[in-house]
Structure 1
Amino acid sequence: MILLFSGLFIVLKNRVSARVRYLTWLVLLVSLIFPFRPRFGQGLVTIEHGQNLATSAARGVSQTGTEVATGQPSLWELFLGLPWVELFLLVWLAGFLVVIGRAIFAYVKFRNLLKRWGNPIADARILANFQAIKAEFGIQKSIRLFHYPQVSSPMLFGLRNPIILLPAIDYTDEELDLIFEHELTHYRHRDIYVNLLVLLVKAAHWFNPIVAFACKEVQEAAESYCDHSVLHERDQAYRSFYGETIITMIHKSQQPILLSSCFYSNKFNLKRRIIGIMDSRLPKPSLAILVTFVTSCALIFSGSIFVVAMSETQLYQAQEATFTQEDAIQISLRDQSLEASAVTDVHASDQGDYYLIEFSHEETLYRVQVDKASRSITKIEKETLKLVAESSSSSTSTSSSQASQTVSEMSSQPTIASTTQTVTTSNQPQTTVSTPASTSSQSTPTPTPIPPVEEPDTDDVEDTETEDVED
């Protein structure tokens, strides 16, 4: 996109307004700091991002017949197995800190030299011209004027307390008016903040020469926008004078310092700038609208061109990492139309490829298998526990027979009937497991009544009664 817009502006020249060109570069610069784009569809170009480098290298070595013995990886495998992401991140961070550190060092050094060698301007003629231009621009901010012999061209310096620096040379009144108009226009356009943005972009993309080229284009666009703001109501004679003054200052201009603006340009951009200064034709609004539309579409849809696709293994691992046992419990309850408050004895266990969820509702025990990859239920088992009968026999006689006590103990235990129902979803091969309900008549035989034992004393005799057990 940087190369596209640079070529577009070279072809269109001054038919697109300087303001639109400047704002277009600013938007591109901001997009490099916040590289987030909406994504529509599957993308025009899909980049497969799947298998590990070491795995690919091992496969290639195996195919060529030079695979090393197990447990003794080759140097190439060890090289590919290094934490390259962390290493590249450290290299990038080192470059970022170097660029930022150099800019801060240059700024601090320049400020210290300014404190030592800079002198406030006390010339009444210069101050009068400056105050007149400030009043014309409607600027209320206090901006100081300094003579500083270390600069070769006028410049605006500082963010909170801006200062206009002038070389220790004599200027005519016309040149002073031009310089003050130019630098105060930079102040009105907030170009100091733009230079700070340029520094951040350049530091974040220090490895990319195209971004460095874009940063220079932004600064040149700022100068062109400044020239246009100064000259939009001027005649051709003043434009010629302005261009000649710019040329005399450009050849001895220095590279911009952090939080400063000055006359700077290379030969190619200087030629374009002078052509723009001398071109008094009005730009075409239709081209400005077209450039704005193309810029917006390019930024919005650029995220839909290249799409990085994960492999099936990575996709499964990513889904598994975000799919918890609590999510599986919620899916199981929602499938049975149950609320969490209506179930008891909730248990979840990890079975590898699926979660096994167990819970009870009223007289039914549920066992649900939830697949991790598809996040769907693959199997449901329902076991119904029904209390069939409970009978107890009250026998307090110490003289009753052993057989009678046995029957009494058997009849005092509750009988449980268990019914298991298995439901298999269509995602898995259908298997049906059905266990018929077992009754107490099958598990507990009916005892034979035992006649009472007669004793000599009829008062101490108790009859032992046996109750029939009902199914």
Structure 2
Amino acid sequence: STSEPSPAPSGSNRPAQPAASSSPAEPEAGAAPDLSLSLSQLIFGLWLLGAAAVLIWNLLSHLRFCRYLNRWASPVRDADILALYNALGDQLGLDRRPRLLSCPGLAVPMLAGLFRPALLLPENPPAGDALRFSLLHELTHFRRRDIFRKTLALWVRVLHWFNPLVWLTARTMDRDIELSCDESALKHLPPAEHAAYGRTILSAVSALTGAGRPQSVSISDSDF
């Protein structure tokens, strides 16, 4: 007689397989952590370092200039200069005007301060038409709010410090602001005085080139 084949062992009788662990293996005790940085992290860190350097350099220059003004600047007391200053302010239609201060060490008149602007005169200011043209130029800057444009250009340089085209554009923008200011100022002068105004501005540029222009754009409210 033939014998029937024995049935295959059921699944319940098979040896159990060890379950695969779904959690990642824990690092061995004492293993050094992975400190490697991705390329994007390295680029961001480099950009942040450069932006901080440009910003800190400008802040330190500004704070040094503010300390100098706080120590040496004083209100202008000369009645003739004050009368000329107020007359030019009226001519430009300025209801609010920057403080008029005298400060030793300046080569030419200049406008400084973003939130508390001041028009600074050298200790020995120019006389006659040269003073009138200089005050007209700086008050025109104030009227046009050019100092805000220059501050914006500063922040663009901070954020795009790595791009030489941005620095070139900012320099071109600064030149265009000055030319536009001169064009606006000349509208308040008769044509016969345009040449004398131009000579005054060129003389101021020459003085700044020789002395080195201080940082005059304030990016924070200062006490001066």
Compute the TM-score of the two structures, normalised by the length of structure 2: 0.75
Per the alignment, residue 257 of structure 1 pairs with: 215
| Contact persistence 1:103–1:258 (CA under 8 A) | no
1: CA distance, partners of 2:162 / 2:55: 14
Q: Contact conserved, 2:50 with 2:161, CA < 8 A, in 1? A: yes
Q: What fraction of aligned residue pairs are identical, expressed as a percent?
A: 34
Partner Cα separation in structure 1 for residue 70 and residue 188 of structure 2: 38
Specify the code of the residue in structure 2 equivalent to 1:250.
V
1:238 is aligned to 193
1-structure distance, mates of 2:188, 2:85: 20
Q: 2:150 is matched with which residue: 195, 213, 220?
A: 195
Higher strand fraction (1 or 2): 1
Does 1:92 find its partner at 2:50? Answer: no
Distance 1:225 1:134 in 2: 19
Deviation at 1:131, TM superposition (A): 0.6
Amino acid at match of 2:113: G
Comparing both structures, which one devotes a greater share of its residues to helix? 2
SS at match of 2:207: coil
Deviations 1:389-421 (A, max 9, x none): xxxxxxxxxxxxxxxxxxxxxxxxxxxxxxxxx
After superposition, the C-alpha distances for 1:25-55 in whole angstroms (9 at most, x for unaligned) are xxxxxxxxxxxxxxxxxxxxxxxxxxxxxxx
The number of aligned residues is: 180
Tell me the SS of whatever aligns to 1:251: helix
SS of residue in 2 equivalent to 1:175: helix
Contact 1:129–1:173, Cα closer than 8 Å, also in 2: no
Is 1:126 matched up with 2:93?
Answer: no
Q: What is the deviation of 1:235?
A: 4.5
CA contact (8 A) 2:65 2:214 kept: no
- 1:325-380: CA deviation from partner (whole Å, max 9, x where unpaired): xxxxxxxxxxxxxxxxxxxxxxxxxxxxxxxxxxxxxxxxxxxxxxxxxxxxxxxx
Name the CA distance, whole Å, in 1 between partners of 2:43 and 2:66. Answer: 35
Partners in 2 of 1:112 and 1:233 — Cα distance? 35
Which residue does the alignment assign to 2:172? 217
The one-letter code of the counterpart of 1:146 is L
- Report the structure number with the largest CA radius of gyration: 1
Residue identity opposite 1:113 in structure 2 = Y
Q: Is the 8 A contact 1:106 1:257 kept in 2?
A: yes
Name the residue aligned to 1:175.
130
Question: Of residues 157, 160, 176 in structure 1, which corresponds to 2:112?
Answer: 157
| Structure 2 unmatched runs, 5+ | 1-35, 219-224
Name the TM-score, length of structure 1 as normaliser: 0.37
> What per-residue deviation string (whole Å, max 9, x for no partner) do you get for residues 119-146 of structure 1?
2110001000001111111112142111
The answer to whether the 8 Å contact 2:125/2:131 transfers is: no
1:256 is displaced (CA, Å) by 5.2
Q: Which has the higher contact order (CA 8 A, sep 6+)?
A: 2
Give me the whole-angstrom Cα distance separating, in 2, the residues matched to 1:238 and 1:231.
9
Partner of 2:19: none
Deviation per CA, 1:64-116: give whole Å up to 9, x if none: xxxxxxxxxxxxxxxxx851110010010011011111111111111111011
- TM-aligned CA distance change 1:235 to 1:124, over 3 Å: closer
Question: Secondary structure of the equivalent of 1:147?
Answer: strand
